[in-house]
């Protein structure tokens, strides 16, 4: 019995240590911006409010994409999101925001079927077949980009960088917790 308790304590300490190291890694990776250029920015969707306005989190992602484009770090922008329970296609609302903020319609690609990270990756690769981009910058919250980059690399797309908006919320704590199992199960 004593050996079992010792073993269980060891396992718990191991899991907690693994979680801490993993979390430190995804936070550092998510906040790091190499400053490099890419062919396209892929901006992942987030909540559109019931009145059709964008959540602050989504707005900040789009502002980050605008900066990338205006600083000549990307030539095109792909916005990806699904149909939210509020009744709006995230991708279409994201494009609307970009156009209102002086991004030319001609450089914006819209994926309205990116209902989750995995689908965004799969749909982005379908766009890649048509538009032949070779390098991407993923734009999402800092805790989310490591998993997104991993999914792209798993599908054979290796030139993947990331940029995150400098926007933080209390709910990030929950999101960081959620990312731990999501990283290993997707």
Task: Compute the distance between CA of residue 134 and CA of residue 160 in angstroms, rounded to an integer.
Answer: 9
Other Cβ atoms less than 10 A from the Cβ of 66: the count is 18
Instruction: Note whether 145 and 29 are within 8 A (CB).
Output: yes
pLDDT digits (tens, 9 = 90+) for 10-53: 999 999 999 999 999 999 999 999 999 999 999 999 999 999 99
pLDDT for residue 2 is more than 80: no
pLDDT for residue 1 is more than 80: no
Q: What's the pLDDT score for residue 96? A: 96
pLDDT digits (tens, 9 = 90+) for 117-155: 999 999 999 999 999 999 999 999 999 999 999 999 999
Exposed e or buried b for every residue in 81-119, given b needs 16+ CB within 10 A? Answer: bbebeeebbbbebbbbbbeeeebeeeebbbbbbbbebee
Chain mean pLDDT for the chain: 94
Residue 78: which of 140, 31, 22, 21 has the closest Cα?
140
Sheet containing strand 108-111, edge to edge, reads 108-111, 76-80, 40-44, 136-139, 160-163
The whole-number average pLDDT for the span 78-97 is 93
pTM score over 0.85: yes
> At 86, is the pLDDT very low, low, confident or very high (cuts 50, 70, 90)?
confident
> At 5, is the pLDDT very low, low, confident or very high (cuts 50, 70, 90)?
confident
Task: Compute the distance between CA of residue 180 and CA of residue 24 in angstroms, rounded to an integer.
Answer: 11
**Dihedral (CA of 137, 139, 142, 148) sign:** negative
- CA count, 13 A, side-chain hemisphere, 99: 11
């Amino acid at each position: 019995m004593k050996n079992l308790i010792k073993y269980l304590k060891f396992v718990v300490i191991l899991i907690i240590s693994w979680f801490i190291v993993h979390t430190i890694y995804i936070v550092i990776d998510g906040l790091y911006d190499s400053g490099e250029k890419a062919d396209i920015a892929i901006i992942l969707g987030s909540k559109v409010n019931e009145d059709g306005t964008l959540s602050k989190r989504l707005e900040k992602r789009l502002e980050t994409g605008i900066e990338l484009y205006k600083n000549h770090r990307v030539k095109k922008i792909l916005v990806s999101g699904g149909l939210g329970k509020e009744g709006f296609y995230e991708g279409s609302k994201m494009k609307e925001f970009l156009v209102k903020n002086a991004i030319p319609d001609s450089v914006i690609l819209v994926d309205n079927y990116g209902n989750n990270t995995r689908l965004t990756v799969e749909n982005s690769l379908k766009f890649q077949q048509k538009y032949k981009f070779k390098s991407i910058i993923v734009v999402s919250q800092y805790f989310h980009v490591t998993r997104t980059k991993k999914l792209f690399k798993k599908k054979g797309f290796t030139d993947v960088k990331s940029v995150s908006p400098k926007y933080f919320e209390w709910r990030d704590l929950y999101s960081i917790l959620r990312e731990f199992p999501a990283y290993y199960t997707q």
